[in-house]
Amino acid sequence: MTLPVWVALLLCAASAAAAALAARRVGANGEGEKRPKAPGIALESTLREVAATIAARPSRPSDSLGAIVSIIAKAVSADLCAFLLFEEASGELVTQPGAYGLSSGQEGSLYRLPLNNDTSSSVRVFKTGLSFLTGDAQSDPRVISHYVKLWKCHSLMVVPLTLEGKRVGVLRVGSFQKDFFSAEHLRFVELLAEEAVVILGGALLTQKLRETNQRLEELNRLKDEFVSTVSHEFKTPLTSIKGFATVMLEGSPGPINADQRKFLTIIQNACDRLTMLVSELLDISRLEAGVRMEMQEVSLEEMLRVSQENLQWQAESRGIRLSLELRDSLPPIQGDPRWLRQVVDNLLSNAIKFTPKGGSVCMRACLQGDAVEVTVEDTGVGIAPEDQPHIFQKFYRARSQAPLNAPGTGLGLAIAKTVVEKHGGRLWFDSQPNRGSRFYFVLPTAEAAARMQRV
């Protein structure tokens, strides 16, 4: 069996680390350093084991940390061993899951130390980068006695973990016996930590990315909740404002003059724009939250006809010809009619909105193999090449349409694309400035969708 390249690289890193250690052990005069022998500790084989452990669990950094502490503990016959990594968000050193000698759930197994707690030996080691060794932590005033007593720890070593010049945490190694660790043990653990942290770098980075990701997801959830709550709260007062403006325009409470009519019409239009914004904000947050499509058989043909009828007056009032061409008789598709209607309405109303007076808009639909293809074509202002990559982004409105001053939120196409994709379809466009645009979408026929579900 051949090893993946990156596993081989990790193992090479372990060998290189061991070679570096051997080199460091030999002094300038070629003689080995004088230090007491700590029996049974072998850096090279321990590092190899660490590298192999990380290689075996590439996607589970917390598992790797748990396995590594037990390898280190066994190498120095320790009873306790834990990584405490610095968590930037809280400014604390946090004991990593899987600490050796502590069962999960035991008091202190998820021990956190704020960096302002200078009575802690771990915090001092983290801040100064100087290792710490004591033969009896329980009676040493430089150690917080509560936890060492709880864990029955007497001998204690704490060494810094530094990655690319930056302190990332500490490694704590303990024994139930007094005066168990020598200076040689401490040096061994320091070297091990120095090399292991390099090998661990990728795993630590993954962990950090995961934490950042979780935080971003949480912020995103809060943002969605905020948008959704505010939008709901907007709906009721908006309906009242628009309702009362309409009643006054109809003259029910009494006659109004020309200025009053003008102002009330402005209020009504502003309400329509706000209502549109609120409803699109709610739609996009529902889609992003993963709203379920209520699938049923839908006749696209009928949907296109209804949409054409509904928007005919708008096209006529702007002097635009609106037509519908159906080449084939279309089979039903499987979809959520409420959301699909929104796709069709959005493409059609955009085509009308972005086409100057005298232009034309044509909707076509045909069968293309197992899918129905719908095209909405206009002879309007088109979309400039520099705007084209962005128009499906939320809130993006092309600069090229600015002179038209068409109302809108920049959310319609983002919604339409998401809806079509949720139906297993695709939405795209081509466009030339001042020549017009063509928006297309395809959706699988109901029969094809059912066939795909059976596979």
The helix (run of H) or strand (run of E) holding residue 173 is strand 166-175
How far, rounded to the nearest angstrom, does the alpha carbon of residue 355 sit from its chain's CA centroid?
A: 38
* Residues contacting residue 200 through CB under 8 Å, at least 6 positions apart: 50, 54, 61, 64, 65, 68
- Cα separation, 343 vs 298, in Å, equals 14
Query: Do 278 and 238 meet the contact criterion of CB atoms below 8 Å apart?
Result: yes
Shortest distance in whole angstroms from residue 381 CB to ligand ADP? 5
The CB-of-277 to ligand ADP minimum distance in angstroms stands at 9
In this chain, which of 180, 188, 354, 441 binds ligand ADP, going by CB under 6 A?
A: 354
CB nearer to ligand ADP: give 175 or 350.
350
Stretch binding ligand ADP (CB under 6 A), from 51-59, 198-206, 266-274, 376-384: 376-384
The residue among 159 and 414 lying less far from ligand ADP, judged by its C-beta, is 414
Q: Name the H helices within 26-120.
A: 43-56, 61-75
Asked if 92 interacts with ligand ADP (CB under 6 A), we say no
* Residue 310 CB, nearest approach to ligand ADP (Å): 17
109 or 310: whose CB is closer to ligand ADP? Answer: 310
Cα distance between residue 223 and residue 365, in whole Å: 38
Q: Which of 286, 397, 422, 426 binds ligand ADP (CB under 6 A)?
A: 397
> Closest separation between CB of residue 377 and ligand ADP, Å?
9
CB of 293 closer than 8 Å to CB of 339: yes
64 makes contact with ligand ADP (CB under 6 A):
no
**Min. distance of Cβ 57 from ligand ADP in angstroms?**
44
Per-position DSSP letters for 254-321, written without gaps between them: S---HHHHHHHHHHHHHHHHHHHHHHHHHHHHHHHTTPPP--EEE-HHHHHHHHHHHHHHHHHHTT-E
- The H-assigned helical ranges of 80-167 are 121-128, 145-150
Shorter beta-carbon distance to ligand ADP: residue 148 or 411: 411
* Residue of 70, 182, 285, 346 that binds ligand ADP (CB under 6 A): 346
> Does 359 sit near ligand ADP (CB under 6 A)?
no
One-letter amino acid for residue 264 of the chain: L
Over the window 403 to 442, marking each residue x when it contacts ligand ADP by CB under 6 A and - when it does not, the resulting string is -----xxxxxxx----------------------x-----
Q: Tell whether residue 391 is a contact of ligand ADP (CB under 6 A).
A: yes
CA geometry: angle 440, 445, 448, nearest 5 deg? 125
Of 187 and 353, nearer to ligand ADP (C-beta) is 353
List the interface residues with ligand ADP, window 253-282 (CB under 6 A).
Answer: none
The packing angle between helices 61-75 and 43-56, to 10°, is 160
Q: Which helix (H) or strand (E) is 134 found in, with range? A: strand 132-134
Write the DSSP symbol of residue 106.
Answer: S
Nearer CB in complex with ligand ADP: 33/272: 272
Task: Rule CB under 6 A: say whether 168 interacts with ligand ADP.
Answer: no
Residue 381 binding ligand ADP, by CB under 6 A: yes
363 interacts with ligand ADP by CB under 6 A: no
Q: Of the listed pieces 61-69, 127-135, 216-224, 381-389, which binds ligand ADP according to CB under 6 A?
A: 381-389
CB 399 to ligand ADP: min, Å: 8
236: how many CB neighbours lie within 10 A of its CB? 9
Closer residue to ligand ADP, CB minimum distance, 160 or 380: 380
Residue 383, interface with ligand ADP (CB under 6 A)? yes
Site membership for ligand ADP, residue 72 (CB under 6 A): no
DSSP β-bridge partners for residue 85: 94, 169
Alpha helices in 57-152 (DSSP H): 61-75, 121-128, 145-150
The contact set with ligand ADP (CB under 6 A) reads: 346, 350-351, 354, 378, 380-383, 391, 396-398, 401, 408-414, 437
